[in-house]
Amino acid sequence: MQSDLISSINKKILTNKELIALKIIFNSNDGVYKFIKGNLSIEEILSLTEEQLKNFNFRKTEDILIKLSNYQLYEQQSIEVIDWCDENAVKIVSFFDPLYPESIKAIANPSCLIFCLGNINLLNYKNSIAIIGTRKCSEYGEKIAAGVSKYFASNDINIVSGLALGIDTIAHEQSLQCDGKTTAILIDLKQISPPKNKNLAIEIIENGGLLIAENIPGTLPEKYHYVERNRLQAALSKLVFIIEANKDSGTKTTADHAIKQGKQIFCPDLNTISNYPDMLYAESLNKYLIDSNNAKTFTKNLYPQILEILSNDT
């Protein structure tokens, strides 16, 4: 207990301005997190030598040193980001903030910063489940996603998803229709993606939901951003429902993160659905997860039992 107190006293805190500037310089959450984990102050970071940067496993160390020597330039950009957030009611929650979720702090590569728009209370809402899946869902997938989302949203469970087309959209929309809680994890709060769901994002905010992103507003989305985003969907959720997806889809990365984080995955056994195409099921992530014993199957008859598990798990 005393060692924890000493550690807390000696903890070096990086400000939002410093974290944003470093994120711009390193263009990497993991890169900046190395300094948090190493308990470095901004002065110590700016004093790093090329050899010390290599010890942190950074590449292109010469380029990094040049950027660090021009830190004031990036700090000014950071101030502009903070001003934009203030003007647009975006709350910045850093790794050092009391509002920062313990569930994200517990994963291997936690976000250094979380940009939040909407109901900030949902960031630490205890009863949350992820409902995710393919953008090109079948009519069966649509029906299952709607049923799962409607039931749990109606029972005060926060529905977490990624605002993508298909399953994600259905999950958010059903939550809103039930006057329920929903959280969308995005790549960027400044430019909503996909553009088709911009109105859905607005509706989420206006109806007590939450939009979050770990990237600096204005970040152009890259493929790796979506892979990193998926770990947060699992982290913020007690359970993960994968409705329908191909085994080679991006949804598999969420499943992989859920498994690493010890989160239970639920999948509908699509093979038991009358008229569901055999070939589509054979190539599905559902079958892969069920066959490998990494997911449990569910039907609507299991909803009350799952709800009881969520309600009793403090």
Question: Tens digit of pLDDT for each residue in 26-41?
Answer: 998 999 999 999 999 9
What are the tens digits of pLDDT across the range 291-308?
A: 999 999 999 999 999 999
Cis, peptide link before residue 194, omega less than 30° from 0: yes
Please name the fold of domain 120-312.
Answer: Rossmann fold (3.40.50)
Beta strands in the chain (DSSP E): 91-94, 113-118, 128-132, 158-161, 182-186, 210-213, 239-242, 264-268, 296-298
Instruction: Determine the Cα angle at 240 with ends 234 and 242, to 5°.
Output: 115
pTM of the full structure? 0.93
What are the tens digits of pLDDT across the range 119-143?
A: 999 999 999 999 999 999 999 999 9
Mean pLDDT for all residues in the chain: 94
* Model confidence at 4: pLDDT above 80: no
Q: Is 233 helix (H, G, I), strand (E, B) or coil?
A: helix
pLDDT-derived band of residue 313, with 50, 70 and 90 as boundaries?
A: low
What are the tens digits of pLDDT across the range 161-180?
A: 999 999 999 999 999 999 99
pLDDT for 314 equals 52
pLDDT-derived band of residue 3, with 50, 70 and 90 as boundaries?
A: very low
Strand order in the sheet with 264-268: 91-94, 113-118, 210-213, 182-186, 158-161, 128-132, 239-242, 264-268, 296-298
The domain ranges of the chain are 2-87, 120-312
**Could you tell me if 123 and 101 are in contact, meaning their C-beta atoms sit under 8 angstroms apart?**
yes
